[in-house]
Amino acid sequence: MGRKVLVLNQDYSALAVCSIPKAFLLVYLQKADLVAESPNEQLHSITQSFPMPSVIRLHRYVYMPYKGVVLSRQNIFRRDHGECQYCGAKEDLTLDHVLPKSRGGRTSWDNLITACKHCNSKKGDLTPEEAKMPLKYKPFKPSFVMFLRDLGGLESSWLPFLGKKEKAFAD
């Protein structure tokens, strides 16, 4: 039961992802409605069978002022699909500041990218333009919904609630 369940707010906006046991408990305790279930699977007790939740909707609205994505090494790698933004390598990855810190570059979503160790040392203390190493994509701050969409094992029943699959990288 390593699969996840999409949790919707009362207004059907994506709120979070939780485990199947947590989702079942919310539905069983009548704190949420079952919106979509897994078609070929069920949960079983000794005497009963229950639908396996895929999407649930909370009965009460949960106010979330801003649901952002935390700036972390793993989230930068995830945003960049685990590949070097210079050469496309998927091994020996590290982080690179587009505008080097020594030249005033900040540690932020729009200045950090995934780079392999070879490209990172080749670029050194230069900008990509100066090193003649163009970026595959301009770095950006991803949205929470984009991260939910890009989770492994995304269920087709989630798609109507996560919006259209937009281009993964903004130009």
Q: Which residues contact 159 (CB under 8 A, 6 or more apart)?
A: 165
pLDDT value of residue 64: 78
How do the domains of the chain map onto residue ranges?
Answer: 4-66+144-162, 69-141
Residue 63: predicted pLDDT: 87
Q: Are 113 and 100 in contact (CB under 8 A)?
A: no
Res 144: pLDDT: 77
pLDDT of residue 90: 96
In tens digits, the chain (171 residues) has pLDDT values of 568 899 999 999 888 888 999 999 999 999 999 999 988 889 998 999 999 999 999 999 998 776 678 899 999 998 999 999 999 999 999 999 999 999 999 999 999 999 999 999 999 999 999 999 999 999 998 887 777 766 555 677 887 887 654 433 333
Rounded Cα distance between 8 and 151, Å, is: 16
CATH 1.10.1040.10 fits 69-141, yes or no: no
CB 54 within 8 A of CB 155: yes
pLDDT, residue 15, reads 86
Supply the pTM of this predicted model: 0.64
pLDDT for residue 68: 76
In this prediction, residue 170 carries a pLDDT of: 35
